[in-house]
């Protein structure tokens, strides 16, 4: 090489000093080092300096952030007259191809043991008399006019590419315009199991699958005409002389004549079989995960896991063991044991709990083999045995909740059978469900990537088992709801048949008796009392039926328009009632008939309680408010019944006697006995009762307004009645509670049952008008 300076640019000061020291012994090389692209530009622009070659790192500073961008800029300014070599630690075959296509004369990877020596050889090659011209030779239409001696220039270009080809570790070649190999490196010859001399002159079609050569030529034509990119990557299938094939990736770039014609091409070929195999595994693992998520039973999930492991991950020895708390296993002390699933069970893999011998020294709970690959069944001639607590590596992994991997299971301290044919083995826990085991007959047979995929599969399996467990619990809950509903329906039928039939019979006899008796006032009073009692019982039976049916858990729902339900409910309620919908009510998932019952009971409660004054202590019903002073029955609204203080055991109905009452029962007393009250009666004097009658009369005929409105949580129902005292609001939804002496205490209890059956919640509040407000919250 002539004694001309080599200009070297590298932002790394240490790298600059090191290369200056390494090349200092070569008298033919005078190295001038600069730190920035700007300093390089200034040096090249200095007319007093002449450089035999420019060596540059790939990553630079400033707006020209890399060597290729810097070269294009210098060439556009007429400063790239010397050959350029790329000397970088960021090397790859792609970067090498880009550099050679851009016009660089060579490429040397930095940081290897022979990097300096190879750089020195490159400098000797490109620093000859024609180096500058060779460096200026362009491979696109923007190149300067070539010397008429095209053959010599072509040889110089080939020399430049030859240097690059030898440098790159991947297979690299140069083709002529006819697609024949003009140059190939040793790496390509080694891959194709031949010599470089045998490759020269052969068409590339000999080494790639049918159609790949044509696709490469099409890619080169597109690159030549597009002009916006220098190279392209395409997938090819390489065919070897023995018929074997492998997946490869070819980075190709065209070599273009001055007139734009295709002079040839350069390419770098990389074996991507491992990457393609990895992609295949991941794709199959992904497809298998969809199958896992579609499986509904634990046995099915376990089976799918073993199939995915064998098919997608190439684990032909694998099994899934799930924990069973009630399975009978041998105690650890009595187990010969092994470190793997290599001991077949007797018949079905479980001990017979009825066999005294089997129960001897046995524990309950263990890992049961639920699914395994066909290879496991072949190798161990049957289903592996259960794994008892403390029973080796599998149990250790399950109990610790962490994967345990052995390159040679025979060397494990807790191996139970040193003679096992298993060598490599991985135990991956499936949460609380069990353990996934993969095995191999070869030592150290699991690479990190395979183990990572096994863990991913195990995590997916755990998620599927969690889902199956939840769905199983929900299904059992649904079956329990069905059983509960059946019991409630049976109860409702019993109430309807066994109670209503006697009531109907009693009512009929009372009507016949009333038509035949022409008695005095006392007799008429007793007949009226009987009629009232039977009517009261019929109302109670109807309310109990509604309560029972409203409390049944919902198993099916449908979209329900609340506005339509409110309209239907309003039409069924008698009395002076005005219902106002304040805003657009939502459509909810529920049972339309039960929601109608809910609104009917709220509206009816507003009418019944809104037409009376706020309750005084005299109004409280004995049962519904826990009265403690026995006295009299309540009156009907028409005032026909008055308080009575007569005491006669003979006048008491059978139910009152059974509960220990010795005073003549009033209607309120009967309610109290039915609901378990210890003492009965109306709390107050006759004057209090007369005052109540007067107050009630003053409110009769007033219209009650009920407002139904949407809320952020669901909807609310509010009235303008007397409301509920704050201290009583916790009890208002309990059955038996009422502020009306004639109330049954079922209305709002039915509302609460309907809300609960839908999985909603209800809060008792005060309305803006001082009345009752029920706020229903619907979970999102």
Contacts of 437 (CB under 8 A, 6+ apart): 318, 319, 320, 321, 340, 341, 394, 425, 426, 427, 428
pLDDT digits (tens, 9 = 90+) for 267-288: 888 888 888 888 888 888 888 8
The stretch 698-703 carries a mean pLDDT of 61
Return the axis-axis angle of helices 67-76 and 37-45, rounded to nearest 10°. 30
The stretch 331-336 carries a mean pLDDT of 43
The stretch 558-569 carries a mean pLDDT of 94
What share of the chain has pLDDT > 90, as a percent?
A: 23
The stretch 306-331 carries a mean pLDDT of 85
CB-based contacts of 226-231 (< 8 A; 24+ apart in sequence) = 227/140, 227/141, 230/98, 230/101, 230/102, 230/140, 231/94, 231/97, 231/98, 231/101
Phi, psi for 442 (deg, rounded to 5): -110, 145
In this prediction the pTM is 0.47
Instruction: Using the predicted structure, report yes or no on whether residue 623 has a pLDDT greater than 70.
Output: no
Higher pLDDT, 677 or 751: 751
What per-residue confidence (pLDDT) applies to 731? Answer: 83
pLDDT digits (tens, 9 = 90+) for 155-165: 656 566 666 66
Instruction: Using the predicted structure, report yes or no on whether residue 131 has a pLDDT greater than 70.
Output: no
- Residue 110: left if φ>0, alpha if ψ -120 to 50, beta else—which one? beta
Instruction: Using the predicted structure, report yes or no on whether residue 335 has a pLDDT greater than 80.
Output: no
What is the C-alpha to C-alpha distance for residues 770 and 775, in angstroms, rounded to an integer?
Answer: 15
What per-residue confidence (pLDDT) applies to 163? Answer: 61
What is the C-alpha to C-alpha distance for residues 623 and 737, in angstroms, rounded to an integer?
Answer: 8
Give Cα separations from 356 to 330, 331, 332, 336, 340 (angstroms). Answer: 12, 14, 18, 20, 27
Residue 69's nearest CA partner among 33, 104, 39 is: 104
Instruction: Using the predicted structure, report yes or no on whether residue 326 has a pLDDT greater than 50.
Output: yes
The stretch 83-94 carries a mean pLDDT of 82
What is the C-alpha to C-alpha distance for residues 7 and 39, in angstroms, rounded to an integer?
Answer: 10
What share of the chain has pLDDT > 70, as a percent?
A: 71
What per-residue confidence (pLDDT) applies to 342? Answer: 41
What is the C-alpha to C-alpha distance for residues 500 and 515, in angstroms, rounded to an integer?
Answer: 23
What per-residue confidence (pLDDT) applies to 166? Answer: 63
Confidence of residue 582 (pLDDT cuts 50, 70, 90): very high
What DSSP state is assigned to residue 719? E
Confidence of residue 305 (pLDDT cuts 50, 70, 90): very high
CB-based contacts of 219-227 (< 8 A; 24+ apart in sequence) = 219/252, 220/252, 220/254, 220/262, 220/265, 221/254, 221/262, 223/252, 223/253, 223/254, 224/254, 224/256, 224/260, 224/262, 227/140, 227/141
pLDDT digits (tens, 9 = 90+) for 522-538: 888 888 888 887 886 77
Instruction: Using the predicted structure, report yes or no on whether residue 360 has a pLDDT greater than 80.
Output: no
Which of 522-531, 582-591, 656-665 bottoms out in mean pLDDT, i.e. has the lowest?
Answer: 656-665
Which of 25-39, 130-144, 750-764 bottoms out in mean pLDDT, i.e. has the lowest?
Answer: 130-144
What per-residue confidence (pLDDT) applies to 113? Answer: 85
The stretch 669-682 carries a mean pLDDT of 34
Domains annotated for the chain, with CATH where assigned, are 1-168 (3.40.50.2300), 169-271 (3.30.450.20), 281-472 (3.30.450.40), 538-777 (3.30.565.10)
Mean pLDDT of the residues in the chain = 76
What is the C-alpha to C-alpha distance for residues 349 and 327, in angstroms, rounded to an integer?
Answer: 10
> Taking every pair of C-alpha atoms in the chain, what is the biggest distance, in angstroms?
148
What is the C-alpha to C-alpha distance for residues 737 and 548, in angstroms, rounded to an integer?
Answer: 17
pLDDT digits (tens, 9 = 90+) for 239-257: 887 777 888 888 888 888 8
Cβ atoms of residues 224 and 262 within 8 Å: yes
Q: 359-368, 465-474, 700-709 — which one is most confidently predicted on average?
A: 465-474
Instruction: Using the predicted structure, report yes or no on whether residue 352 has a pLDDT greater than 50.
Output: no
The stretch 74-84 carries a mean pLDDT of 89
Instruction: Using the predicted structure, report yes or no on whether residue 555 has a pLDDT greater than 80.
Output: no
Residue 37's nearest CA partner among 17, 15, 56 is: 56
What is the C-alpha to C-alpha distance for residues 210 and 212, in angstroms, rounded to an integer?
Answer: 6
Higher pLDDT, 2 or 12: 12
Higher pLDDT, 490 or 635: 490
What per-residue confidence (pLDDT) applies to 595? Answer: 93
Residue 4's nearest CA partner among 30, 33, 42, 41 is: 30
What per-residue confidence (pLDDT) applies to 593? Answer: 86
Q: What element of type H or E holds 597?
A: helix 592-610
pLDDT digits (tens, 9 = 90+) for 30-60: 899 999 988 999 999 887 778 889 999 998 8
What per-residue confidence (pLDDT) applies to 460? Answer: 93
Task: Specify the residue for token string 């809060």.
Answer: 763
Confidence of residue 318 (pLDDT cuts 50, 70, 90): very high
Higher pLDDT, 750 or 541: 750
Give Cα separations from 736 to 254, 334, 417, 696 (angstroms). Answer: 93, 64, 71, 22
Give Cα separations from 320 to 98, 150, 352, 520 (angstroms). Answer: 51, 71, 22, 89
Which of 275-279, 552-556, 637-641 bottoms out in mean pLDDT, i.e. has the lowest?
Answer: 637-641
Confidence of residue 123 (pLDDT cuts 50, 70, 90): confident
Task: Specify the residue for token string 């880009």.
Answer: 98
What per-residue confidence (pLDDT) applies to 702? Answer: 78
What per-residue confidence (pLDDT) applies to 426? Answer: 94
């Amino acid at each position: 090489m002539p004694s001309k300076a080599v200009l070297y640019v590298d932002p790394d000061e240490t790298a600059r000093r090191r290369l200056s020291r390494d090349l200092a012994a070569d008298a033919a090389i005078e190295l001038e080092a600069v730190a920035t692209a700007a300093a390089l530009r200034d040096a090249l622009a200095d007319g007093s300096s002449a450089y035999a070659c420019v060596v540059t790192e790939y990553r630079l500073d400033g707006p020209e952030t890399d060597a290729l961008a810097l070269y294009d800029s210098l060439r556009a300014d007429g400063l790239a007259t010397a050959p350029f070599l790329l000397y970088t630690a960021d090397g790859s075959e792609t970067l090498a191809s880009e550099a050679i296509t851009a016009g660089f004369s060579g490429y040397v990877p930095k940081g290897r043991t022979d990097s300096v020596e190879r750089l020195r050889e490159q400098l000797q090659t490109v620093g000859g008399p024609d180096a500058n011209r060779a460096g200026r030779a362009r491979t696109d239409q923007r190149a300067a006019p070539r010397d008429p001696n095209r053959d010599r220039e072509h040889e110089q270009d080939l020399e430049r590419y030859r240097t690059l080809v030898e440098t790159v570790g991947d297979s690299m070649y140069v083709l002529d315009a006819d697609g024949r190999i003009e140059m190939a490196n040793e790496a390509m010859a080694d891959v194709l199991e031949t010599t470089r001399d045998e490759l020269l002159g052969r068409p590339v079609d000999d080494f790639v699958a049918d159609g790949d050569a044509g696709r490469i030529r099409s890619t080169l034509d597109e690159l030549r005409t597009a002009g916006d990119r220098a190279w392209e990557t395409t997938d090819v299938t390489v065919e070897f002389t023995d018929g074997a094939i492998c997946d490869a990736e070819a980075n190709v770039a065209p070599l273009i004549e001055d007139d734009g014609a295709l002079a040839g091409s350069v390419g770098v070929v990389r074996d991507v079989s491992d990457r393609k195999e990895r992609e295949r595994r991941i794709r199959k693992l992904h497809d298998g995960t969809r199958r896992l998520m579609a499986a509904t039973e634990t046995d099915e999930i376990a089976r799918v896991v073993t199939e995915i492991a064998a098919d997608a991950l190439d684990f032909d020895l694998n099994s899934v063991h799930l924990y069973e708390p009630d399975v009978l296993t041998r105690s650890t002390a009595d187990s010969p044991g092994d470190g793997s699933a290599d001991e077949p069970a007797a018949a079905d893999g479980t001990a017979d709990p009825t066999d005294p011998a089997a129960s001897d020294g046995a524990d309950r709970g263990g890992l049961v083999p639920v699914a395994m690959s066909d290879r496991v069944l072949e190798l161990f001639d049957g289903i592996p045995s259960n794994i008892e607590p403390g029973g080796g590596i599998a149990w250790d992994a399950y109990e610790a909740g962490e994967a345990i991997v052995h390159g040679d299971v025979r060397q494990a301290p807790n191996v139970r059978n040193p003679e096992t044919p298993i060598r490599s083995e991985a135990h991956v826990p499936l949460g609380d469900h069990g353990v996934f085991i993969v095995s191999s007959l070869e030592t150290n047979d699991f690479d990190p990537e395979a183990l990572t995929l096994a863990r991913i599969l195990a995590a997916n399996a755990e998620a599927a088992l969690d889902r199956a467990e939840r769905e199983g619990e929900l299904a059992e809950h649904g079956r329990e709801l069905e059983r509960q509903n059946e019991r409630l329906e049976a109860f409702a039928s019993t109430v309807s048949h066994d109670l209503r039939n006697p009531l109907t019979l009693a009512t009929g006899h009372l009507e016949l008796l009333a038509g035949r008796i022409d008695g005095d006032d006392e007799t008429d009073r007793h007949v009226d009392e009987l009629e009232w009692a039977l009517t009261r019982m019929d109302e109670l039976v109807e309310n109990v039926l509604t309560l029972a049916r409203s409390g049944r858990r919902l198993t099916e729902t449908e979209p329900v328009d609340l506005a339509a339900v409110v309209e239907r409910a309003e039409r069924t309620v008698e009395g002076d009632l005005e219902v106002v919908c304040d805003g657009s009510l939502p459509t909810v998932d529920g049972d339309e008939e039960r929601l109608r019952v809910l609104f009917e009971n709220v509206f009816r409660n507003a009418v019944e309680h809104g037409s009376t004054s706020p309750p005084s202590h005299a109004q409280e019903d004995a049962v519904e408010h826990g009265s403690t002073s026995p006295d009299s029955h309540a009156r009907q609204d028409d005032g026909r019944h008055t308080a009575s203080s007569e005491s006669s055991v003979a006048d008491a109905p059978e139910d009152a006697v059974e509960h220990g009452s010795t005073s003549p029962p009033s209607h309120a007393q009967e309610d109290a006995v039915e609901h378990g009250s210890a003492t009965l009666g109306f709390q107050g004097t006759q004057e209090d009762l007369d005052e109540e009658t007067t107050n009630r009369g003053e409110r009769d005929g007033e219209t009650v307004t009920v407002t139904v409105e949407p809320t952020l949580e669901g909807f609310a129902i509010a009235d303008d009645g007397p409301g509920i005292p704050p201290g009583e609001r916790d009890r208002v939804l309990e059955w038996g509670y009422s502020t009306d002496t004639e109330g049954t205490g079922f209305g709002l209890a039915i509302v609460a049952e309907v809300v609960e059956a839908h999985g909603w919640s209800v809060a008792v509040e005060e309305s803006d008008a001082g009345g009752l407000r029920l706020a229903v919250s619907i979970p999102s």
